[in-house]
């Protein structure tokens, strides 16, 4: 029995993780669930799954959640500090980080320091502070199991191969809803169009990141830290069908790939259940339904965010942190109709040029970098 804490149980990954836990009652026990604003769903999940602890990050919603659960044997906490303390509880074995954005960083640090195994969906954590997180994990003997489908694919390809050096990895990208568009066309795209991903149903922020290819950029940096790779060992190929989830090439030239229908439940279950493959009734993939699997180069000139992410990785230090903060602000502004699709890249590029560079950032440096980049990005938007 693995005792699980889900940070962000009300989100796209969180809800699917609860389905996985429900389908495998002999393997998992749900200990903690947390949400930010969606108190109604959090309460509904608590009543159904009976975890021992729930946390609502927004303190103004504490009363509502507490009232609704007052007759249950469930502890209710509120505030972002509570997120950091519940992951340290002795009754938790593994923490699934399914919160979105930079807010996932601090609770993940607390979980690692408490020696909890991590199932990592929150890629922003590794983008912002990959060096810090991976060295902390090493120090505390913590394994980080990827939930992101591409990284899960690579991790699955590495099973039995951990002693064999990787020559390179190839991350596949669907290309998103705007694959093949020109910059002039991208200038006109709407929020509604950007929110319609061809293959995956996900939270709003990652869906916009997928449309701009920033998601792939974040994943390149995520892969660098997860698998200890040099920058030049990471390639991206566009594969619109999203069937091959990623590939690893070894030093003998052999390439391994992991395939399946685009469904996040499988990588979630693999991370939670590792090292076991649990039986599932997820829909099965058939080659006959996909007679053509195709591949093309990503268009880095039109989709500038992917190039900016490669640049940030190349420069290292706090540059990916700047990229991430500016992107979070830009995506939120795009979702509020305050900037156009292409302006998101302008904002990120300006922040990367203007926020002070730090080659070897401490945790405090990440906090100030994040603040500074957010402030500058907001200023640029208001102009």
- Return binding residues for 1-deoxy-D-xylulose 5-phosphate: 123, 149-150, 174, 197, 210, 215-216, 219
Binding-site residues = 10-13, 38, 122-124, 148-150, 174, 197, 203, 210, 215-216, 219
Specify the stretch interacting with ligand NDP by CB under 6 A; choose among 3-11, 249-257, 279-287, 298-306.
3-11
Least distance between ligand NDP and beta carbon 16 (Å): 8
Q: What is the smallest separation between the CB atom of 264 and ligand NDP, expressed in angstroms?
A: 4
Select the residue interacting with ligand NDP from 4, 18, 38, 365 (CB under 6 A): 38
Q: Is 20 in the site for ligand NDP (CB under 6 A)?
A: no
Cα(47)–Cα(45) distance, integer angstroms:
5
Q: Provide the annotated binding site for Mn(2+).
A: 148, 150, 219
Binding residues for NADPH: 10-13, 38, 122, 124, 203
Residue 100 or 351: which CB sits closer to ligand NDP? Answer: 100
Cβ proximity to ligand NDP, 43 vs 248, nearer residue: 43
Q: Which does 308 bind (CB under 5 to 8 A by kind): Mg ion, ligand NDP, none?
A: none
Residue 347 touching ligand NDP (CB under 6 A): no
Residue 121: name its binding partner from Mg ion, ligand NDP, none (Cβ under 5 to 8 Å by kind): ligand NDP
Residues between 141 and 170 with contacts to Mg ion, criterion CB under 5 A: 148-150
Question: Using CB under 6 A, which residues numbered 78 to 117 contact ligand NDP?
Answer: 80, 98-100, 103
**Complex with ligand NDP: residue 195 or 237, whichever CB lies closer:** 195
State the binding string over 223-262 for ligand NDP (x if CB under 6 A, else -).
Answer: ----------------------------------------
Q: Residue from 3, 12, 144, 224 that binds ligand NDP (CB under 6 A)?
A: 12
Direct distance between the N- and C-terminal alpha carbons of the chain, in angstroms, rounded to an integer: 54
Across 309-332, b (16+ Cβ under 10 Å) vs e yields bbbbbeebbbbbbbbbbbbbbbbb
Q: Binder to ligand NDP among 4, 5, 13, 226 (CB under 6 A)?
A: 13
Verify binding: residue 361, ligand NDP, rule CB under 6 A. no
Instruction: Report the Cα 316 to chain-centroid distance in Å.
Output: 19
**Is 54 an interacting residue with respect to ligand NDP (CB under 6 A)?**
no
* Residue 159 CB, nearest approach to ligand NDP (Å): 20
Query: Which residue, 77, 66, 14, 83, is CA-closest to 45?
Result: 14
- Letters for 175-194 (x = contact with ligand NDP by CB under 6 A, - = none) are --------------------
Of 22-30, 35-43, 184-192, 282-290, the segment contacting ligand NDP by CB under 6 A is: 35-43
Task: Tell me, letter by letter, the H, E, C secondary structure of the chain.
Answer: CEEEEEECCCCHHHHHHHHHHHHCCCCEEEEEEEECCCHHHHHHHHHHHCCCEEEECCHHHHHHHHHHCCCCCCEEEECHHHHHHHCCCCCCCEEEECCCCHHHHHHHHHHHHCCCEEEECCHHHHHHHHHHHHHHHHHCCCCEEECCHHHHHHHHHCCCCCCCCEEEEEEEECCCCCCCCCHHHHCCCCHHHHCCCCCCCCCHHHHHHHHHCHHHHHHHHHHHHHHCCCHHHEEEEECCCCCEEEEEEECCCCEEEEECCCCCHHHHHHHHHCCCCCCCCCCCCCHHHCCCCCCECCCCCCCHHHHHHHHHHHHCCCHHHHHHHHHHHHHHHHHCCCCCCCHHHHHHHHHHHHCCCCCCCCHHHHHHHHHHHHHHHHHHHHC
The residues that touch ligand NDP, with contacts defined as CB under 6 A, are 8-14, 35-38, 57, 80, 98-100, 103, 121-124, 148, 200, 202-206, 264
């Amino acid at each position: 029995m693995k005792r699980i804490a889900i940070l962000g149980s009300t989100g796209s990954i969180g809800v699917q993780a609860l389905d996985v836990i429900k389908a495998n009652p002999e393997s998992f026990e749900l200990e903690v669930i947390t949400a930010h604003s969606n108190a109604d769903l959090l309460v509904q999940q608590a009543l159904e799954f009976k975890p021992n602890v729930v946390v609502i990050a927004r303190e103004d919603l504490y009363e509502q959640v507490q009232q609704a659960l007052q007759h249950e044997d469930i502890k209710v906490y509120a505030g972002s500090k509570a997120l950091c303390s519940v992951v340290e509880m002795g009754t938790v074995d593994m923490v699934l980080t399914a919160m979105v954005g930079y807010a996932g960083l601090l609770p993940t640090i607390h979980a690692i320091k408490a020696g909890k195994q991590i199932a990592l969906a929150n890629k922003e954590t590794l983008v912002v502070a990959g060096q810090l997180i991976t060295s902390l994990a090493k120090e505390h003997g913590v394994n980080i199991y990827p939930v992101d489908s591409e990284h899960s694919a690579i991790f699955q390809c590495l099973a039995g191969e951990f002693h064999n050096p990787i020559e390179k990895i190839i991350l596949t990208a669907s290309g998103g809803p705007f694959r093949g568009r020109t910059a002039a066309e991208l200038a006109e795209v709407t929020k509604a169009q950007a929110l319609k991903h061809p293959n995956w149903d996900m939270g709003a922020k990652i869906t916009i990141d997928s449309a701009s290819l920033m998601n792939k950029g974040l994943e390149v940096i995520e892969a660098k830290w997860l698998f200890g790779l040099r920058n030049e060992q990471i390639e991206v190929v566009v594969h619109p069908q999203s069937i091959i989830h990623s590939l690893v090439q070894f030093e003998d030239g052999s390439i391994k790939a992991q395939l399946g229908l685009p469904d996040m439940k499988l990588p979630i279950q693999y991370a939670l259940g590792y090292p076991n493959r649990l039986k599932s009734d997820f829909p099965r993939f058939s080659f006959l339904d996909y007679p053509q699997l195709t591949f093309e180069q990503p268009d880095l000139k039109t989709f500038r965010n992917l190039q900016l992410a490669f640049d940030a990785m190349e420069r290292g230090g706090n540059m990916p942190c700047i990229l991430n903060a500016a992107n979070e602000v830009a995506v939120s502004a795009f979702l509020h109709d305050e900037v156009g699709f292409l302006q998101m890249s302008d904002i990120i590029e300006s922040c990367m040029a203007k926020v002070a560079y730090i080659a070897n950032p401490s945790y405090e440096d990440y906090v100030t970098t994040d603040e500074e980049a957010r402030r500058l990005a907001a200023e640029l938007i208001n102009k």
